[in-house]
């Protein structure tokens, strides 16, 4: 059975690295030098976590990604 998950990938310009997470699956995150590496590692970690999960991972529907600006 195939499942689809939403990942968030951000870039840290100070570290020159990409950070990736799958928000609704604890433990699925990675930091890499390229987006391709982040995608590959997120998929690998997600597969391992799901294989070992004792509880079913919640099926959450992606709704939106918002950028919120605030004054400092």
| Model pLDDT for residues 13-51, shown as the tens digit of each residue | 999 999 999 988 889 999 999 999 999 999 999 999 988
Q: Residue 8 forms beta bridges with which residues?
A: 21
pTM of the entire structure? Answer: 0.78
Residue 61: per-residue pLDDT: 75
Number of structural domains found in the chain: 1
Q: What share of the chain is helix, strand, coil (3-state, %, to 5)?
A: 25, 20, 55
Band of the pLDDT at 72, cuts 50, 70, 90? confident
Closest C-alpha to 42, from 12, 1, 4? 4
For residue 1, pLDDT over 70 is answered with: no
Quote the distance between the C-alpha of residue 23 and its chain's center: 6
Note down the domain range covering 26: 8-52
């Amino acid at each position: 059975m195939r499942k689809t998950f939403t990942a968030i990938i951000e870039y840290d310009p100070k570290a020159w690295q990409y950070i990736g997470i799958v928000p609704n699956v604890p433990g699925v995150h990675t930091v890499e030098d390229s987006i391709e590496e982040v995608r590959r590692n997120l998929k690998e970690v997600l597969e391992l976590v799901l294989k070992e999960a004792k509880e079913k991972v919640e099926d959450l529907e992606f709704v939106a990604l918002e950028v919120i600006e605030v004054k400092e």
